[in-house]
Amino acid sequence: MLETVKKQRNVEIKIQAVRDKLRDFGVWYTALFCLRKIFFALYKYKFKACGGLFIRGSYFIRGYSNIEIGQNFTAGTGLRIEAISCYGEQLFNPGIEIGNNVTLQDYVHIGCINRIVIEDDVLIAGKVFITDHNHGYYGDEQVRYHESPDIPPADRRLTRGDFVAIGPNVWIGEAVTILPGTTIGRGSIIGANSVVCGNIPPYSVVAGVPGRVIRQYDFSQERWMRVKEH
């Protein structure tokens, strides 16, 4: 009987020790969270304009004076936002505009030498890449200047594409790539792993490589209707 009481007492002591550790962890976690909130409340003044932001973890931001962020911006760890004004001997005048209530998950990369606009209430999943430029030029044969494949990619000139615009209420899935000149209309959904280029109409579902519209919302029927292939 005495042995049983001792065992129960030992278990209670261990449980209490765990509770104490959890309580201490909670205090430290709360303190750290509050410190990060204070840090970002002051940090926002580095930007051209910023209503408020919170980033959960590591990040790299380049070109603060060319970045505007609205209210309630949140991002996951590994965030990388680059407004590139100088690359080697090249000079640019980039502009990144992010609206209100925009959420970015982990490891989102936005690279800009021209203009990228993300409007209000956009949700972007992890590992998404958004760019308005390329390393080198590989397109129209009428263009005189093409990059040699013998030049290391990092040493090739940046070539500016058309601006990128992502409308309000857009949801972008995991590991999507959005290329220069892309416009995504209001309320659209971009499926995971898609590569998107060109004009996406409002209220569309896009999937594939290259991304194509597979459904559109019909307000009269209140349903996402399949788009017929031509």
Mark whether 114 and 218 lie in a shared domain: yes
| pLDDT range class, residue 31, cuts 50, 70, 90 | low
Residues 27 and 125 in one domain: no
- What whole-number distance in Å separates Cα of residue 59 and Cα of residue 70? 18
Relative to beta strand 212-218, strand 223-226 is antiparallel
* Co-location of 116 and 214 in the same domain: yes
Global pTM reads: 0.81
Burial 65-98 (b: 16+ CB within 10 A, else e): ebbbbbebbbbbebbbbbbbbeeeeeebebbbbb
Does an H or E element contain 50, and which?
strand 49-50
The predicted model gives 53-74 an average pLDDT of 92
Average pLDDT score over the chain:
85
Same domain, 80 and 39: no
Together in a domain, 75 and 19: no
Q: What is the pLDDT of residues 147-187, one digit of tens each?
A: 788 889 888 888 888 899 999 999 999 999 999 999 999 99
Dihedral angle computed from the Cα positions of residues 178, 184, 188 and 193, in that order, rounded to the nearest 10 degrees: -10
Task: Give pLDDT, residue 38.
Answer: 63
Confidence of residue 4 (pLDDT cuts 50, 70, 90): low
Categorize the per-residue pLDDT at 17 as very low, low, confident or very high, splitting at 50, 70 and 90.
low
State which of 30, 45, 60 marks the end of a domain.
Answer: 45
Are 38 and 135 in the same domain? no
CATH number at residue 93: 2.160.10.10
Q: Given phi > 0 = left and psi -120 to 50 = alpha, else beta, which region is 153?
A: alpha
> 183 and 102: one domain?
yes
Same domain, yes or no: 112 and 216: yes
Residues 8 and 64 in one domain: no
Question: Which domain covers residue 6, as residue numbers?
Answer: 1-45
What number is the average pLDDT over the span 193-214? 96
The total number of structural domains in the chain stands at 2
DSSP bridge pairs for 130:
110, 178
Query: Which pLDDT value is given to residue 173?
Result: 97
Residues 111 and 192 in one domain: yes
Whether 217 contacts 223, CB under 8 Å: yes
Do residue 98 and residue 203 come from a single domain? Answer: yes
Tell me the catalytic residues: 135
Say whether both 24 and 59 belong to one domain: no
pLDDT at residue 129 is higher than 80:
yes
DSSP state of 228: P
